[in-house]
Amino acid sequence: MADVRFEQVDKSYGGKATVIEDLNLHVRDHEFLVLVGPSGCGKSTILRMIAGLEEVTAGDLFIGERRVNDVAPKDRDIAMVFQNYALYPHMSVYDNMAFALQLRHVKKEEIGQRVRRAAATLGIEEYLQRKPRELSGGQRQRVALGRALVREPQVFLLDEPLSNLDAKLRVQTRAEISRLHTQTGTTFVYVTHDQVEAMTMGDRIAVLNNGVIQQLGTPSELYNQPANLFVAGFIGSPAMNLFNARLLRGADGAQVVIGAGSDARTLRLAGTPAETIAGQATSEGRPVIAGIRPEDLRLASETSESTLIGTADVVEHLGNEQVVYLQAPGLLPSKGTDGKSVIARVSAGADLKPGARLAFQPDLAHLHVFDPATGQRFL
C-alpha cells in the first residue's frame, strides 16, 4: 500500500490552457479520497496524472516514496476502473479478470486463486464463464472492479464508475465499493461529480473548481463548515439558501439582517456564533452573504423578527420528507438553490399544499456567513 503526493504540480496542454495549477495534495496511505466538482474542474485530469495517462507539466508526483513523473503507467503499481467498464467483449469474465496477471507471467495456479478470491469478494463467482454481453450494467462494473482487485495494486483509481448505472444499482454498487475498500485497506482515489457519492464514501473529500482545490476535509467538515461560497453552494442537496445581507453590531450584540424594508428579517446571534463574528460586524452594517441550509428552516406556528414568511410555490413529496419552494420576493436568494425560491426541507407528516402561506424559523446555530468580495467564510 502507498500514499500519493502532489507537490506544486501544474498541468497544461501545449503551454496554453492550464487545467491544474500549483496542486499540493496528500492522499494518505489506506485512505479513501474523493475528488468532486463540476464538469471541467480538473478532477479526472488529477486521476489520469496518477495513472500516468497524462504527463505532469511541472512539479513532482510521488506514489509511496517513488517519484513517478517519468514512470510508465504499467510500472506504477496502480489499477484503474473506468466509467465505461472497458471489458474485452470476446473474453469470459474469468479471462477479463486474469488477463493482466497473464501478461505479467503470474503462475496459472496463483491467477486462479486471485480471480476466485476477487469473484467471491464481489459476488460474481457464478458469472466467471459468461461474456460481458450476458451481464447487466451492475455486474459488468463488478467485473471491472474485480479485474483491478486481482492485481493487488498499491493504489486504486476509480473514474466515475457508477455514472452508467441506474439509481438502485448506484446505491448497491456504492456500498460494494466502500466494503471493498474496508476489506482490502488499499488507498482509493475516487472521482465523481455526484456529491451524494462523495459524502457517503469518502474518508476525506477534495472539492475542486477551475483546477484549484477549494476545500479538503471530511464530509462533516465540508457540510458544517464550508470554506467559501463555492463549497457552500456545491455541497448539500438541495443547495444552501444564500441571501444578500448586512452584518450589524448593535447594542445587544451581532446580528445579521437579510432582506430590506418591511421584508427585512433580523437574525440575532448569541453565544459562540456572536463571539466568532463580532470583529467583522460594523454599526453601519457590513455587506455579507448569509447561508441557511434547507433542513435548518423549521416550520413555525408563531412569527418573530427572524421568521421567514412566504407562499409555497412547489411542494415535492419524497416519501420520508417534503421539499418546499417558498416564494418570498423580499428575501430572494442572491445565489444558490434555484435562484428564485427559498427552499426548506420538512418532515413528511406536515400537510403542505402549493399556495399555502408558511412561516419558517431558521436555526441560528447553523447560520453561515460569507464575505461577498472574497467568498470566504466568516462564520
Per-residue model confidence as pLDDT tens digits over 262-304: 778 999 988 888 888 888 888 888 999 999 999 999 999 888 8
- What's the confidence (pLDDT) of residue 336? 46
What is the pLDDT averaged over residues 235-256? 88
- What's the confidence (pLDDT) of residue 338? 52
Per-residue model confidence as pLDDT tens digits over 116-159: 999 988 889 999 999 999 999 889 988 999 999 898 899 999 99
- What's the confidence (pLDDT) of residue 332? 65
- pLDDT tier for residue 334 given thresholds of 50, 70 and 90: low
Per-residue model confidence as pLDDT tens digits over 118-129: 998 888 999 999
Residue 337 has pLDDT above 80, yes or no: no
3-state DSSP of 127-189: HCCCCHHHCCHHHHHHHHHHHHHCCCCCEEEEECCCCCCCHHHHHHHHHHHHHHHHHHCCEEE
- What's the confidence (pLDDT) of residue 106? 93
- What's the confidence (pLDDT) of residue 339? 58
Q: Which residues pair with 310 in a beta bridge?
A: 358
Q: Domains, the chain, ranges and CATH? A: 4-234 (3.40.50.300), 241-370 (2.40.50.140)
Does residue 19 contact residue 11 with C-beta atoms inside 8 Å? Answer: yes
User: Count of alpha carbons within 13 Å of 24, Cβ hemisphere only?
Assistant: 2
Residue 352 has pLDDT above 50, yes or no: yes
Tell me the C-alpha to C-alpha distance, in Å, between residue 363 and each of 254, 267, 269.
Answer: 16, 10, 11
Rounded CA separation 299/359 (Å): 6
What is the pLDDT averaged over residues 183-198? 93
Find the radius of gyration of the CA atoms of the chain.
Answer: 25
Q: Say if residue 354 is preceded by a cis peptide, omega within 30 of 0.
A: no
Q: Which residues pair with 335 in a beta bridge?
A: 242
What is the pLDDT averaged over residues 107-114? 94
Rounded CA separation 58/172 (Å): 40
What is the pLDDT averaged over residues 72-100? 92
Residue 65 has pLDDT above 50, yes or no: yes
